[in-house]
Amino acid sequence: MAEATLDPVFQIQRVYLKDMSLEQPNSPAILLDQETPSVDIQLGVGTEQVADGVFEVSVTATVHTKINDKTVFMVEAKQAGIFEIRNMPADQIGQVLGISCPQIIYPYLRGNVADVVQRGGFPPVHLAEINFQALFLQQQAEAAAQADQAPLAAQQIIT
């Protein structure tokens, strides 16, 4: 009797704002400065298995604006989602967690960052679109390069 092949499962259980903060440490004085602030935006993706076949994926953004060396405002936000992923090969699960899930979460993060910045009294910051597939492939290539270098480094230490 042949084994039954189970269909792959991918379901969004929940999308939620996990953490957000807005800091304006130099207000109100900095608000009177007419210089254009510099803006630094950092993004990150995290994954955690919370149960068998259930994963939390988060996308984090930090937006730091400065005039000279003084902070105008800083926003830190983490948008997350819980996803059920079953009956998929391990390499496909990695791609789903690294590409598909962040693509689902990111628009919520973009909206929340723009909203909190605007509620803080500033023009909204619109985070750029991200190609999570290119980002995932870049991270995989970097991890493979580091793995290839590790045996060489160990071998050089030993000799």
pLDDT in tens, 49-98: 999 999 999 999 999 999 999 999 999 999 999 999 999 998 899 999 99
pLDDT digit string (tens) for 85-113?
999 998 899 999 999 999 999 999 999 99
pTM above 0.85, yes or no: no
Distance CA 72, CA 39 (A): 10
What top-level class would CATH report for the domain 9-142? alpha beta
- CA dihedral 87→93→96→97, nearest 10 degrees, is 120
Q: What pLDDT shows up at residue 104?
A: 97
